[in-house]
Each structure stands twice: as structure tokens, then as C-alpha cells.
Chain A
Amino acid sequence: MGQLASALVTMILGVLACAAYFYGSNALLDWLFPGKNRPAEQIARNLRIANRIRPWLFVGPAVLVLTFYLFYPVIDSFILSFHGRTGEEFVGLANYQWLFGSDEFYESFRNNMLWLIVVPTAATFFGLVIASMTDRIWWGNIAKSLIFMPMAISFIGASVIWKFIYDYRSGDDPQIGLLNALVVFFGGEPQAWITIPFWNNFFLMVILVWIQTGFAMVILSAALRGIPDETIEAAVLDGANGVQIFFKIMVPQIWGTIAVVWTTITILVLKVFDIVLAMTNGQWGTQVLANQMFDWMFRGGGDFGRGAVIAIVIMVLVVPIMVWNIKRANAEMEGR
């Protein structure tokens, strides 16, 4: 109980401190530059000053936090990637040489590429198919809700769930893992799935697809519903059948949304870490960049230089998406 109370106190203090800043700083500004009960010229001057300062009171904390937690680290990681284990002595390109000379990197990189191809494709594909089907049946919303549900489950929780499905019992013991039970039921030989090199990658990817399909489905379903009925009716009048309407009329109209879904999942995939850590910890040929980086951060007390170099590789992979995003946002703002 005492623990619960102290947790509660910590929480309230943390939140109050944050709220107090906004109240306090604004009150201070109003007190320093009052906008009432003064001669007109003074009010005008005060307000001009206050209005110049106030936006920074509002965005200040966000700018500080963003700078410290995201912007500065990007630069520091870059610098660290030229330094040794402790991040102190300069080692030039040694970390890069090590990285590009290590087999583990190529394995992670290949696996990451596999993830990048398979997961966004599969999740978007299933999302699109499910969205288009559930929109036409009366219990579609319930179906969507259930398929969306894995979104709420942590990667680590999902890993436990799927590890249970892939569970393997040797010998004649009854299989309690669903997959092996099915294999046995159909007369096959049970397998220790997550230890089969190369293919085990796909068993891990299934988990992320399972989680992300709901996300793709929700967004694509909204996009599909946004398609003007007239275009579809016109196609019906032109004699197109259901499949043609879907691929030639509907899908082209939501390309933009498909691209957004795709990139969102892609970014997520680049960061995927928990699943690999929990399922195999990179053994049996399943290593990925994010997990490898985590590994180097703590392995033998941590090698900051090598960790940073892997982080840089991940960053480089996202840069194109970042550029595309900024362009899109700018275009949008001009359209406003």
C-alpha cells in the first residue's frame, strides 16, 4: 500500500510540476507586462512585448524536449559513431569498417530487408482485403474490432502468445502448441519452428503482421468509404465486375492512403526489436539491426561507438521517408 501511495504522490507531483510551469510562466508574463488599467500607449507596448514572448512560452517546453531527446541525439549518435567503446577516443572510420566487415551485420541487414518487404506488404494487403470485405457485411464492425485488437497488445505480450503457438514437444508427448498440433493432426512431423534457420524469420514476421493488419485495415477502410459512390456506380454502368471495380476504380483512388499506411508500417518495422529479443534474441539467424544495436549497447559493459554506428544505419534507412513526409506536409499546408 505504501508503495502505491508513493507511486501516486510521484505521479501527481510530476504532472503538477508540468501544469505549474504553464500557469506560472503565463501569469508572470501578464504580471510583468500588464494589459489592463494602464495608459493606452503603455498597454499597446506591453501587449506587443507580451505577444512576442508568449508563443515561446507555449512552444518552449516542446522545443526543448524535442531538441534534447531527438534532435541532439541524432547529431551525437553521428559523432559517437566515430568514437570507441566509451565514446571518448576518436577512432575514425574503424566502427564503420568493423560493421561492414562483420557477418552479423549482413545477417541483420538481410533480415531487416526481408522484414521491410514482407511485413508492410502483408499487413497492407490483408488490411485492404479485410477492409473491403468487412464494409459489406452487417457484422463487419465487430469483425474489424476483433482484428484491430492485437494493436493493443505489447510486442512482448504478442511474443508470448505466439511462442505458445509455436511451442514444440519432442517425442510422443502431445503437442500443446497449436501449430504443431495441427501438423500432427494432418500427419506431419512436429518441428521446433523458431529454430529453423531462414524460415524462422517468417515465423517472427507473422507476429508483426498479426499486430499491424488492424491498423492498415482501419485506415484503408475509412479511405475506401471516402471514395465517391458515383465513381463506382459509373463503373457498374460501364459493365465492370466486382474485381475490376476493386482494382481499377477503388484501389487507384486510395493510392495516397495506401502509401501512408505502407510507410508507417515500414518505419515501425525498422525499429522492431522486442519481438526478436523475446522470441530468439537474434539466435538461429534471426538477428535484426535494432536488436543488434541494443545488444552492443550493453554487451560487455556496452560499446557506444558500435551501437551508434548501427543506429546511423537505421537512420539512413528512414531518411527517404522523412523527406517524403516533410514534402507532403508542406504541400498540405499550402493547400490550406
Chain B
Amino acid sequence: MADLKLTNVKKVYANQVEVMRDINLDIKKGEFIVFVGPSGCGKSTLLRMISGLEEISGGTLEIDGQVVNDIPPSLRGIAMVFQSYALYPHMTVYDNMAFSLQIAKVEKGEIDKQVRRAAEMLQLTPYLDRLPKALSGGQRQRVAIGRAIVRRPKVFLFDEPLSNLDAALRVATRMEIANLKESMPDSTMIYVTHDQVEAMTLADRIVLLSAGNIEQVGSPLELYERPQNVFVAKFIGSPAMNILPCTILAPGAQTRIALANGHQVSVPIDVPAADQGKAGFFGVRPEHLLLAQAEDEVLLEGEVSFVESLGEATLLYVQVPGVEDMVIAKQTGTLAIHKGEHVRLCAQPEKLHLFNEQEHAYRQ
């Protein structure tokens, strides 16, 4: 129901540490936005600034075109779901959900209607009279979400809502959140997680943060296929992308590069002529490295120093001569390859990535 616009938003804590720098972000009404990033990068801080729980040190935050920097949380039309659920332990599920409406002095019948509607949506009706301590983790999380729904907010804010749940429940609740979003196509949702699977499955757009900066904003597939820099490339995808230092030999539509071991490869990425002879980084995802058949052009070869069989896939850790880090190749199914064997790996040219010296991608 709302557009959100962040312009040059900054955060400086009392100890003078700048934890957010010049954040610019446009969020459209009805979007599902996920903030991801490593721990401590400022995801929660950004979310809390949007909610109004944390003061904005610089820049402006607009909701529906109105600057809300100084507006208290309750009047911003937002609702927040916390990682620890933050249910009021002394109130029943019903009272927990009704609290905000009671504070707003909504009349009783209306409160009851809203609470029951939310409970219905989240299958919480049988538990309305229980105290939070008599609920399972998943149920508690649903109450926390219900408490947000009841307020009919313009923007939902979630701060790692699933990280206290076990793996199976996390998947189930993730799907519930996806359904919830579907049933409320008009509400904007901002969701913080450090789990990239959650990010990839839920998001319309992902905002990848690192150390107080936005690294890239885009749809999950954009981030996967066209990472703007090495950080994004390594963060999205598991195992992480192999990044090897290289030298640019012949720039052009087809660029020829030399790897550290002297091996030369040609990649279909346009590189400006000015970068000839410069250093750069060459990237390829483990799942794109295949065992080469006789006729393929070999990209990398080396000795397998470690094999991990995961069942549905096999990870080969290959020591490529002249390359410091181990190169990982992910093969589907199980393979009869053992430690010490020599393997030759190839990849489709369009799956290769090339970054300049400053770790920025050549292909935008």
C-alpha cells in the first residue's frame, strides 16, 4: 500500500561509528524486499530506522511521499515482527493481537473482528486463549505475525523471523509467509535474513548489504546471474563462486585472459580496450564447472585433493597448479572419482564472470 523511499540515509551511533552510509533505495508498493548480508553489516539497523525504533542520523525516509524521519513508529503505518517474537508473556494470544488496537482505542467489536480474521488466516483460532509460553516456536512466530496483520499496516517489517526455528519448521513457515504475501498483494514487506535460501525464495528484490553499504539491488536471479562485484558473487550461491586472479590479455567482445598458472581462456564478455594488460578476477560457479569430455575446451585442470559426497551432488576440491585457493566443482549425482585423481574441468562460456581490479563486474 505504500512506496518507500530512502535518500542518503545514514546512521551514526553514539560512539561515533558510522554503521550505515548513504543508503539510497526505492521500494514500490506491494514489493517483497529482502535485506541480506553478513552478520553485523547493518541489516537490523536499517530496518529499525525504517520502523522508527532507531533514529535516522542523516538523509530522509519517505513513506507514501511523506518524510517520516520524526514520526514515531506507531504512526508510520508499519508493523514489525521480531526475531525473538517479542510476545507479551503475560497476555493471552488474543490480547497480544488486540494490544495495538486497544492502545489506539478502537471499539471492542472491531477489535474482535480484526483479531479473529488474523487468527483465521494463520490457523491460530484454537489457541486464542493460551499464554505464549504454552505455544510451540512456530505457533509463537505465527502469533507475532498475526499481531502485525491485525494493525493492517502499510509496511510489514520482519527481522530474521525464522532464525529461532528448526530447519523443518523454517521451511514450513517460509512457505506460509510466501502465501501470506500472496494473499495481501498490496502490502509492502521488508524482510531481513542472513539466510540466502530465504532471500532467494521469498524476495521480489534482494538488497545485499555489506558493512553499511548497499552492494547490489535486484531480483534473486539477477544477483545470481549478474553479480555486480566479487562480494555479491561470493555471497550468493553455495558453495561460493570460485574467484581466480587473472590478467586481461586481449579485450574485446571475446576477451582473452590468462590465469595465474599461465593457462589462457576466452570469455564472451565485453571489456574496454583500455584495460588491456591489467589484472582482474575470473569467476565461475562450482555448479557450472563440469568434467570435460574429450572434445571440450578445458578450462581448468588439477588434482582432486578432497571429495565430498552429498548424495544429490558431489563436491570436488581441485588443486589447480599455480592457483592458491582450492577450486570447487559441484557435479550432480554420485561420481566414482577419488582423491588424488587428475581431473579436467570445463564450463559454458556464458556462465563465466569477469571482474576488474576493483572487483567490479565487466558485464553490467
CB distance from A188 to the nearest CB of B (A): 62
Shortest beta-carbon distance from B105 to chain A in Å: 9
Nearest CB to that of B67 among chain A residues? A40
Q: Which residues on the A side are within 8 Å of B66 (C-beta)? A: 40
B14 at the interface (CB under 8 A from A): no
Question: Shortest beta-carbon distance, A42 to chain B, in Å?
Answer: 11
Q: Mark B49-80, 1 if CB is under 8 A from A, else 0.
A: 00000000000000000101111100100000
A41 to B70, CA, bound (A): 8
Interface size range on A against B:
under 10
CB neighbours (8 Å) of B72 from chain A are 35, 43, 47
Given A45-B70, A48-B70, list of 13 further CB < 8 A pairs? A35-B72, A35-B75, A36-B75, A40-B68, A40-B71, A40-B75, A41-B70, A43-B72, A43-B75, A44-B69, A44-B70, A44-B71, A47-B72
**A interface residue numbers (CB < 8 A to B):** 35-36, 40-41, 43-45, 47-48
The B interface is mostly helix, strand or loop, or mixed, namely loop
The interface residues of chain A lying within 8 Å CB-to-CB of B68 are 40
Sample of 18 A–B contacts (CB below 8 Å): A35-B72, A35-B75, A36-B75, A40-B66, A40-B68, A40-B71, A40-B75, A41-B70, A43-B71, A43-B72, A43-B75, A44-B69, A44-B70, A44-B71, A45-B70, A47-B70, A47-B72, A48-B70
**Bound: A44/B52 CA distance, A:** 12
Please indicate the chain A residues that have their CB under 8 angstroms from the CB of B70 in the complex: 41, 44-45, 47-48
Interface residues of B in 253-270 (CB under 8 A from A): none
Closest partner residue, chain B, to A36 (CB atom): B75
Alpha-carbon distance between A40 and B68 when the two chains are bound, in angstroms: 8
Taking CB atoms, residues of chain B closer than 8 Å to A35 are 72, 75
Residues of B within 8 A of A36 (CB): 75
Nearest chain B CB to A39's CB is how many angstroms away? 11
- Per-residue CB contact flags for chain B residues 128-155 toward chain A (1 = under 8 Å, else 0) read 0000000000000000000000000000
Q: Which residue of chain B has the shortest Cβ distance to A50 in the bound complex? A: B72
B70 to A, closest residue via Cβ:
A44
State how many angstroms separate the Cβ of A296 from the closest Cβ of chain B. 50
Q: Which B68-127 residues sit within 8 Å CB-CB of chain A?
A: 68-72, 75
Interface centre among B66, B68, B72 (most CB of A within 10 A): B72
Closest chain-B Cβ to A219's Cβ sits at a distance in Å of 28
For A44, the chain B residues whose CB sits under 8 A away are 69-71
Bound CA span A41–B69, Å: 10
Shortest B268–chain A CB gap in Å is: 53
The 9 closest A-B pairs by CB, nearest first: A44-B70, A47-B72, A44-B71, A40-B71, A40-B66, A43-B75, A43-B71, A48-B70, A35-B72
Nearest Cβ on chain B to A226's Cβ, whole angstroms: 25
What are the residues of chain B within 8 A of A40 when measuring CB–CB? 66, 68, 71, 75
How far, in whole Å, are A47 and B70 apart by their CA atoms in the complex?
9
A48 to B69, CA, bound (A): 12
In the bound assembly, the distance between CA atoms of A40 and B69 in angstroms comes to 11
CA distance A35 to B104 in the complex (A): 11
Residues of chain B within 8 A of A41, CB atoms compared: 70
